[in-house]
Structure 1
């Protein structure tokens, strides 16, 4: 009987000890965690280089977005030239004095001509980068001249002499002057002046400078820009 009581008491005390031991383990674990976190932070602070060594890194190995930057530019206006020409046209009737029949008109024309480079055909075959992404080459068509545009505010007739016959004809037809041909001739002379200038060469220089600046801003060190033969 005594043995049974002793066993029963032992079980009761064992149960109590076990029930008391669980909170102690939990408190000890929390305390250990509270101590470990500051120590870990101090350890990382003492060795920042070591912590950075194991930090995740993202490396972009794709090519620089040169074509993306040029996608919206189909025609690059690389240079603009302003030109002035004087058009002097005289029409006379053989063996008739100019006072009777004849006409002479002088037009002072000012216009602008744009030099453009076509970017619409740019693609991987025209923009090639080296394997190490340090050099890039652009192959472009030659710059071309757009048709001249007359400036109406700076274009005017500075002289007009008409014979009696031409004046009467203008009154009868209710059309005193017809200067369309005069303006077309002025535009053609402006185009010729632009072709004889260095506008095309300047446009290619400006295009080369623009592409070089763009490529270097994207990390390329060597930039080559070539142009095709003029059409």
Structure 2
């Protein structure tokens, strides 16, 4: 029997399709490639000659500043306090480890709060003068605290820890690893500290001293300042 005839009649073996990775495998592979690219970009930027390829130029194309309004101030700022707080803010995902999803930021916030007495609403009944014009009595509203102002030149992030998903998300946002949350928290803590610092009492004391010196220079021998 001719073997060649049997080989001709034999059916060809079916081709084996290459195994395809499941969707989650392809996703993990894509993330790994992206991570390698980011590492290479960061490393190459440190090498001589490669820094210019990844250099960022900053151009200020801001328009002119527009004056919206002017307000007359009718208050006297009698004291101001400078504060500093270390904010440790951590955000975790419920069912994911911190290395995958989560952030922790250590931020030093420096700011100031001023205390003032509002003199704009005083009426005639707030000032009492005797006939000889030697005694004067003032009744002023209690001092209040202004809004805490964060000094960005003296505030800074000590450390930032972010999970993989948070780092990838920063690539598609205009403000990666934004510090608005820790800045708001720093302002809140500074405001609370100012309330317990005796700044209001110090403001009223300094306002009283200022008014006594001013009115005595105008000829009044006895000056009484009260807060209601």
Structure holding more helix per residue:
1
Shift of 1:93: 1.7
The separation in 1 between residues aligned to 2:126 and 2:175, in whole angstroms, is 55
Unaligned 5+ runs, structure 2: 1-71
Q: Distance in 2 between matches of 1:73 and 1:181?
A: 31
Deviation at 1:97, TM superposition (A): 2.2
- Asked if 1:111 is matched to 2:97, the reply is no
Change (3 A) 1:190 1:211: same
Residues 77-122 of structure 1, C-alpha deviations (whole Å, 9 max, x = no match): 1111101111111011234321222110111000010101011123
Counterpart CA distance in 2 for 1:73 and 1:166 is 45
The CA distance in 2 between the partners of 1:99 and 1:174, in whole Å, is 23
Partner residue of 1:79? 79
**Matched residues in 2 for 1:198 and 1:103: separation?**
36
In structure 1, what is the equivalent of residue 222 of structure 2?
222
TM-score of the aligned structures, taking structure 1 as reference length: 0.65
SS at match of 1:189: helix
- Number of the residue aligned with 1:199: 199
CA radius of gyration, larger in: 1
What displacement does 1:176 show? 2.1
How far did 1:75 drift? 0.7
The alignment partner of 2:208 has SS state of helix
Aligned residues: 157
Pair 186,219 (structure 1): closer, same or farther in 2 beyond 3 Å: same
Instruction: Quote how far apart the aligned CAs of 1:73 are.
Output: 6.4
**What is the alpha-carbon distance in structure 2 between the residues aligned to residue 121 and residue 93 of structure 1?**
51
Q: Distance in 2 between matches of 1:199 and 1:166?
A: 41
2:123 is the counterpart of 1:123: yes
Tell me the secondary structure at the aligned position of residue 98 of structure 2. Answer: coil
RMSD after superposition? 1.5
Structure 1: gaps of 5 or more residues: 1-71
